[in-house]
Amino acid sequence: DGTIVKWDPDQMRKIQEHPCYSEKASHTFGRAHLPVAPKCNVQCNYCVRKFDCVNESRPGVTSEILNPEQALKKIRDIVAEHPYIKVVGIAGPGDPLYNEATFETFRLIHENFPDLILCVSTNGLLLPDKIDLLEKYGVSNITVTMNALDPDVAAQIYQFINYQGKRYDSGREMGELLIGKQLEGIRLAVERKMLVKVNTVYIPGINDSQILEIAKKISSMGVYIHNIIPLIAQAKFAHLKPPTMEEKLAMQELCKPYVKQMSHCQRCRADAVGCLGKDINPCTGHKSE
């Protein structure tokens, strides 16, 4: 099926116990997202900042931000009560790699709960710079949101990026920098035997031409799974029409020969806890159906 990578037993466990990497696991095992990362170094045209990062989460619900000690306490409480939680992820509300709290949180959790699978989601800009730290703290599952391979298309999707104190406003240079970092980050993660998922926001009229190209590229790089997410039309992209379910399924069919397609993504909140689609209500502690 185009996959060139063989998974070792440790990687297999991190696939089989991760509800996003394995649909089967999604019925048995849960994940907890820790909202410790409020800042972002990128401005996506589809993002409304007061909401959670759409790269991994559903907008419309703001999260309270936890500090690393509060996050550790939350995990202590959660695993004591819900032992089926096997994965701890940091997915926002901003870009995790742009927030120091992310690394301190991973350090604390890795030290205290070495068996939990650690997972992070990022726009990828800082991935090459932070990959060694992620490896040090045992982060094994990495999601990168890649919306384009062509820098001119990227220029239509991102308003600006901040890298090492310099701001790059929309344009080819910005696109080249971001895409270059994303690809380099993915390469380094696969090299370190991390399991990589790529999210692509499907933005009709903007990046239709890019999605199959992304699937081919990431397949050749050893990415495990591809998650095509329909646009949520808001912010600068409020006027665009999201893809229909049929369009999304057709795009997944096109990409499937190259890389495994994720079909059970629930677009979780940055503070989601529980099995996919059956989150424990953060207010009541009860599962919602």
Residue 95 is a binding residue for ligand SF4 (CB under 6 A): yes
Residue 212: φ, ψ to 5°: -65, -40
20 sits near ligand SF4 (criterion: CB under 6 A): yes
**Cβ(87)–Cβ(55) under 8 Å?**
no
The reply on whether position 195 binds ligand SF4 by CB under 6 A is: no
For the bound state, the minimum distance from the C-beta of residue 212 to ligand SF4, rounded and expressed in Å, comes to 21
The correct pick among 178, 228, 276, 280 for binding ligand SF4 (CB under 6 A) is 276
Q: 66 vs 136, which CB is nearer to ligand SF4?
A: 66
Q: How far is residue 249's CA from residue 242's CA, in Å, rounded to a whole number?
A: 13
Scanning 39-47, 65-73, 129-137, 182-190 for contacts with ligand SF4 by CB under 6 A, the matching segment is: 39-47
Among residues 268, 270, 273, 275, the one that binds ligand SF4 under rule CB under 6 A: 268
Which of 5, 13, 16, 43 is in the footprint of ligand SF4 by CB under 6 A?
Answer: 43
Give the Cα separation of 49 and 166 in Å (integer): 20
CB of 234 to ligand SF4, least distance (A): 10
- Binding test (CB under 6 A) with ligand SF4, winner from 36, 54, 90, 203: 54
SS3 string of 113-166?
A: CCCCEEEEEECCCCHHHHHHHHHHCCEEEEEEECCCCCHHHHHHHEEEEEECCE
CA 73 – CA 58 distance, rounded (Å): 25
Residues 6+ apart with CB under 8 A from 141: 14, 18, 20, 21, 87, 89, 117, 118, 119, 120, 194, 195, 196, 197
Are residues 149 and 213 in contact, defined by beta-carbon separation less than 8 angstroms?
Answer: yes
C-alpha dihedral sign at 152, 153, 156, 162:
negative
Residue 42 is a binding residue for ligand SF4 (CB under 6 A) = yes
The one segment of 52-60, 99-107, 161-169, 209-217 that binds ligand SF4 by CB under 6 A: 52-60
267 binding ligand SF4? (CB under 6 A): yes
Interface positions, 106-145, toward ligand SF4 (CB under 6 A):
123
> Residue 17's closest CA among 141, 188, 153?
141
Among 15, 32, 36, 47, binds ligand SF4 (CB under 6 A): 47
Q: By CB under 6 A, name the one of 15, 34, 40, 259 that touches ligand SF4.
A: 40
Instruction: Check residue 53 for interaction with ligand SF4 (CB under 6 A).
Output: yes
Given its phi and psi angles, is residue 128 left (phi above 0), alpha (psi -120 to 50 degrees) or beta? alpha
Check residue 97 and report its DSSP letter.
G
Question: Shortest gap between Cβ of 193 and ligand SF4 (angstroms)?
Answer: 20
* Contact set for ligand SF4, span 205-234 (CB under 6 A): 227
Determine the size of the site formed for ligand SF4 (CB under 6 A).
Answer: 20
Q: How far apart are CA 224 and CA 203, in angstroms?
A: 23
* Whether the Cβ atoms of residue 259 and residue 226 lie closer than 8 Å to each other: yes
Q: How far is the CB of 125 from ligand SF4 (least distance, A)?
A: 9
Sites for ligand SF4 among residues 247-266 (CB under 6 A) = 265-266
Let me know how many helices (H) and strands (E) the chain has, helices first. Answer: 9, 11
Binding site for ligand SF4 (CB under 6 A): 20, 31, 40, 42-44, 47, 53-56, 94-95, 123, 227, 265-268, 276
